[in-house]
Structure formats: C-alpha cells, structure tokens
Amino acid sequence: MTLINSDIKSASSFLTSGELVAIPTETVYGMGANAFDAEAVKSIFAVKNRPFYDPLIIHTNSVKRLEEWGMHIPEQLEKLAQAFWPGPLTLLIEKSAMISDVVTAGLPRVAVRVPNHPLTLQLLAHCAFPVAAPSANPFGYVSPTRAEHVKKHFDGKISMILDGGPCVVGIESTIVGVEQGKVTVYRLGGISIEAIEAVVGEVLVRTSSSKPDAPGMLLKHYSPAKRVIAVDSQGEFEAKLNTQSACILFNLEAKGVPEKNLIRLSQSDNHSEAAQAFYSALRHWDDDASIHQIIVQRMPDFGLGRAINDRLKRAIV
C-alpha cells in the first residue's frame, strides 16, 4: 500500500532513498524522484509507461538553488521568473552536468520550475536535490488534480502520495524558453500568453511536436477513458448529443441532459474556475458504462481558455 499523508519528512526520506513520491503543486500532482539519481528517474518512466524521449520538469524552491547546481536563467527570461515564481511557469534553460540526461531525454536544456504550493515548497527546501516530476498519471491519460486521482492508478506502485489537497490551478504550467533569440512558448498552461507578453513583449508559440524539445508537446495526451468530442456552438452540441453522452459545458444550454451527465466548468464564465475543474470533469465518467462519449464545449480562445482548448485538442487526436 502507498502511504498517503502530509508528512514532509517521510516524503523527503523516500526521495533521498531513490523512491517515488507523488507531490502536490498548484497545477497538477507530480510523480517525483531525485533528479540527480538516474535510476530513480528511470523508475518514473517505468511506472508511468512514459517514453524516454519525452523530457521531464525539475522542481526546486528558489533560483538561488538552481545557481548552486550550475544552472542559470537566461537574461531574456529573468523577468518572467521574477514575475511568476513561485507559480505555474516552467523555464527551459541550459542544464548542468549534475542533471541526468534521462531527465532531459538527452537534450541540452532542462525544464525548471518553482511551484506555488506551500507543502511542496517546504518539501523542496528539505531536499538536497531538485525533484524531477512529470504529472502523476499513466502516460497519455488525464493529469491528476487530487491525491485520490493518483491513488487510483499507482496505489502500491509508489512509496508515498504527499496529500496537499485539490490543485488550485488545475492545468499544467506554461513552458517558456528562448529559441533563435526569441522568447518561445512550448506549452500553454497556467500563465496565459497575454500575461507573459505583458512582461517580455511578443512571443513565439510552438507547442506541438512528435519529437518534443520540452515536456507536454506530444500531439496526443490528456485523454480520458471515453471518446471526446469538441463543439463550439449550440447547434453543433445538439447535433452530437445522444442518450449515451456526458457533457462538459461552459455556457451552452443543456436542455434534456440529465443532471448526472452534466458538468458546468464555471457558473460565472470564469476561465480560472474552468481550468481548475477541467481535468476532474474529464475523469468523472470513466467508470460509468452508460456513457460512451463526452461532449466538451471549447472555451473562448484567450487567457486560460486557450490552454484548456489545447488540452482538449490533444485529448481528441
């Protein structure tokens, strides 16, 4: 049985010993291992059934510690770190020799983040190493936003789940780097493009690849157990609806849909509320044999709505 509690000392001890610990962040729960321990990192890939060509994010509690480990934030990205750390922002920077090539899939850059979760920040301060942590879900499946989501798939397969309650952002971090001298977004996430451009000016957006330069770029990802259909309009929704449909809606009308088959992402057209609820909603009908498809309304394509639409697209591919 996997331990589930909020004991930072136990979590730190397991990680130091090369064990896997699921950790909470404000975005999603991560599957954590000592980033300096190549064998521990390999076990992440094995437990998740994740391909080794898909790189990982490493987490720590301060920029100062990154510098102690031989990693430095490029000048073009410093303002972003100052503006959004701790928070749902990941920066792609040159890795140091201390970081295993397993973490970066052999690439010269490593994705780094200072998460904004009080429990995990305390844990990271206790650790003498950064923690490599992709989302704590089977590869390709919906990311977990609660401890029980992790338990469903990995009970008995990892040493501990550090229970930090439900994730308040609910979708993964935005990943940003520099490519050919231009600030580039590699994954849409919890910091909107608009917020990033308010700090550093116009950015490039390059978020999909079969050979990823950063985590979260694969074309198919974030998929629930049921078929997913995306719709934009009331007419399109009604044309796709049948008695075996579940519905995840923002502001479309849902006449005739049973309450048990409907989740509203937000009651007030709030993108942050919608993001927080999105992954839990996708999981909701996994074990319901009466549901064969999930109809999901696309969000307005700005702010966090753009990141939700990105996840929806990858769930359908």
Average pLDDT over residues 4-23: 98
Distance CA 71, CA 252 (A): 47
Residue 115 or 220, more confident: 115
pLDDT digits (tens, 9 = 90+) for 127-138: 999 999 999 999
Which of 281, 91, 248 minimizes the C-alpha distance to 171? 281
What is the token pair recorded at 240? 């796709």
Look at residue 208 in the predicted model and tell me its pLDDT: 73
Residue 202 identity (one-letter amino acid): E
- Of the ranges 160-174, 198-212, 282-296, which one carries the lowest mean pLDDT score? 198-212
pTM: 0.95
Confidence of residue 114 (pLDDT cuts 50, 70, 90): very high
Look at residue 104 in the predicted model and tell me its pLDDT: 97
pLDDT digits (tens, 9 = 90+) for 218-248: 777 788 989 999 999 999 999 999 999 999 9
Distance CA 121, CA 170 (A): 18
What is the token pair recorded at 232? 């934009």
Instruction: Answer whether residue 149 shows pLDDT above 70.
Output: yes
What is the token pair recorded at 174? 């935005």
Question: Tell me, what DSSP letter sits at residue 259?
Answer: G
Look at residue 210 in the predicted model and tell me its pLDDT: 66
Look at residue 169 in the predicted model and tell me its pLDDT: 98
Residue 235, number of CB atoms within 10 A of its CB? 10
Burial string for 133-142 (b: 16+ CB within 10 Å, else e) reads bbbbbeebbb
Domains of the chain: 3-205 (3.90.870.10), 227-316 (3.40.50.11030)
pLDDT, mean over the chain: 95
Distance CA 47, CA 315 (A): 21
Bridge partners for 59 per DSSP: 113, 131
Distance CA 37, CA 18 (A): 7
pLDDT digits (tens, 9 = 90+) for 239-286: 999 999 999 999 999 999 999 999 999 988 899 999 999 999 999 999
Distance CA 241, CA 231 (A): 10
Question: Tell me, what DSSP letter sits at residue 285?
Answer: T
What is the token pair recorded at 106? 């052999």
Distance CA 125, CA 294 (A): 41
How large is the angle between the packed helices 8-16 and 118-126, nearest 10 degrees? 50
pLDDT digits (tens, 9 = 90+) for 187-210: 999 999 999 999 999 999 988 766
pLDDT digits (tens, 9 = 90+) for 51-95: 999 999 999 999 999 999 999 999 999 999 999 999 999 999 999
Look at residue 137 in the predicted model and tell me its pLDDT: 96
Instruction: Answer whether residue 43 shows pLDDT above 90.
Output: yes
Which of 91, 86, 56 minimizes the C-alpha distance to 71? 91
Helix ranges (H only) for the chain are: 8-16, 38-48, 63-68, 75-84, 101-104, 118-126, 147-154, 193-200, 234-240, 271-283, 304-316
Look at residue 151 in the predicted model and tell me its pLDDT: 97
Look at residue 317 in the predicted model and tell me its pLDDT: 63
Look at residue 73 in the predicted model and tell me its pLDDT: 97
Q: Within 13 Å, how many C-alpha atoms sit on residue 46's CB side?
A: 11
